[in-house]
Structure 1
Amino acid sequence: MAHEAKLSGANGHAFPGYLKEPEGGRSRGAVVVIHEYWGLTDQVRGVADRLAREGFTAFAPDLYQGQVTTDADKALQLMQALDMKKAARELAQAAEALRQRAPGTRVAVLGFCMGGALALAAAATDDTFAAAVPFYGIPPEQVADVSRIRCPVLGHFATQDAWCTPERVDALEKTLQAAQVPARLHRYDANHAFANERRPEVYSPANAEQAWKRSIEFLHEKLG
């Protein structure tokens, strides 16, 4: 079952987004899926659908409150207008709402680009996440202190990325190692957003499939 949904957090706050539950209703855990700076697109909904087919309950929050764009300048404006610290807190609250729906559920956070940065920020903000899977996203230091992360991290990054440069990825890895965060960061010979099949100019099918397989194995291990 899939539908646009509003989860209610402990403080009564409603989280708009896309909810997809596994067939048969038996969930192996839950995943908060965070969209890129384009907004909550059909492509992101497709990621939630794929996670549900793997047995997970997936919830993709709509951080832009219904705004979606295909224009890079507009997407940048939307991202810059987003209070990322507040968003990280709200993502943690959304995870708690998923636990309230099914007590005992372990919840992971997974995101792409801006969503990848927020996946790490959410995990740094709240220590109840069971796992974090960022795709080519690193939060600015003023948004989150990644050394505070306590859950396992599986990261996917591109070697040809002007935003999450290899130097930034190396620095992230060193910070996580120094803080004894259990983290594995994979590098792919690809461009930023290589896992987005709706962007043929950067999509790398082989690398995307490898990253997805690693992510699913990781999520089953940490949530199952």
Structure 2
Amino acid sequence: MRICTALVLMALTSLAQAAIKTETLHYQSADGTKLVGYYAYDDVIKGPRPGVLVVHEWWGLNDYAKGRAKALAALGYSALAVDMYGDGKHTEHPKDAMSFMMAAMKNSDGAAQRFDAGLALLKKQPQTNPDKIAAIGYCFGGGVVLDAARRGEPLVGVVTFHGMLSTKNPAAPGTIKSKILVEHGNADTMVTPDSVVAFKSEMDKAGADYQFVGIDGAKHGFSNPDADRLGKVKDGPDIGYNKKADESSWSDMQAFFKKIFAA
């Protein structure tokens, strides 16, 4: 009897895993940059559903970002992990990551075009409801999605996890259309308290609908299980994984999405 039960459970688990479909999608931005996206959805769900863009950390489009797309698909969303660097490149070396990030952000218009290309690609997928799109971002990607909100992108909401809060292009009053959720580690040494104060002031002046969650004891990179290892490499950043913060921030995101997509 126990063997039969175990086999049934294994079969059900296999079916559940098989329901999540993934695809590598090639696309390009308006400036001709070749990009590689990672798309995930649950094929058991029929018809269009809300879509979520995932913007990677400064490491690039790695397995972590792709894993988040799959996790969103398992929650019932149409999810696309976008490429902000080109050719889907990624690294585990801090100097390379800094170089990739600086090159991507050197031209704010180019960065916006890469984000917009991913947004357009997600909207084209038959599983996506193009009127209900949100974006989440980690570290560098958090800054990307906040900048998208600042310039008035038609997103229902954006969520940042240990995201960069400063910007060269502050939001003008009335510009932000998206609801915003910020999940920030209070022990983050890479995003200073002054940056937090400036961000909140910017959002208040812009009239943004935002929530700011400060998590005690959480460092930069708190959501990534590889953060402890990546932070120990030579010249590595001050980052660290925090399981409790990872789980609470993901739970906050789910509640946020349920609310904004139900509206």
Same-fold call, TM > 0.5? yes
* d(CA) in 1 for partners of 2:88, 2:30: 23
Q: Summarize deviations over 1:48-106 as a string: whole Å, max 9, x none.
A: 11100110111011222232111111111111111352222331332233223345441
Alignment of structure 1 residues 73-84 onto 2, 5 Å: 73-83=95-105
Which position in structure 2 is the counterpart of 1:71?
93
Does the CA contact (< 8 Å) of 1:10 and 1:96 recur in 2?
no
* d(CA) in 1 for partners of 2:152, 2:29: 14
Which position in structure 2 is the counterpart of 1:136?
162
Does the CA contact (< 8 Å) of 1:117 and 1:137 recur in 2?
yes
* d(CA) in 1 for partners of 2:195, 2:62: 27
Alignment of structure 1 residues 138-157 onto 2, 5 Å: 138=164, 140-142=166-168, 144-147=169-172, 148-157=175-184
Match for residue 209 of structure 1 among 232, 235, 247: 247
Aligned CA distance change for structure 1 residues 199 and 141 (closer, same or farther; 3 Å): closer
Bigger Rg, structure 1 or 2: 2
Aligned CA distance change for structure 1 residues 25 and 16 (closer, same or farther; 3 Å): farther
Q: What RMSD, in angstroms, separates the aligned Cα atoms of the two structures?
A: 2.3
* d(CA) in 1 for partners of 2:113, 2:25: 19
Match for residue 39 of structure 1 among 60, 77, 87: 60
C-alpha deviation, 1:139, in angstroms: 5.1
Structure 1 alignment gaps of length 5 or more: none
Alignment of structure 1 residues 154-169 onto 2, 5 Å: 154-169=181-196
Question: Is 1:91 paired with 2:115?
Answer: yes
Q: Which moved more, 1:214-223 or 1:204-213?
A: 214-223
Q: Summarize deviations over 1:119-141 as a string: whole Å, max 9, x none.
A: 10112234311101112223543
Q: Percent identity?
A: 26
Alignment of structure 1 residues 7-46 onto 2, 5 Å: 7=27, 15-26=35-46, 27-46=48-67
Instruction: Give the number of equivalent residue pairs.
Output: 223
Q: Summarize deviations over 1:145-191 as a string: whole Å, max 9, x none.
A: 23432210000111122221122112211211221100001111210
Aligned CA distance change for structure 1 residues 160 and 4 (closer, same or farther; 3 Å): same
C-alpha deviation, 1:206, in angstroms: 0.6
C-alpha deviation, 1:10, in angstroms: 9.2
* d(CA) in 2 for partners of 1:13, 1:103: 26
TM-score normalised according to structure 2 size: 0.77
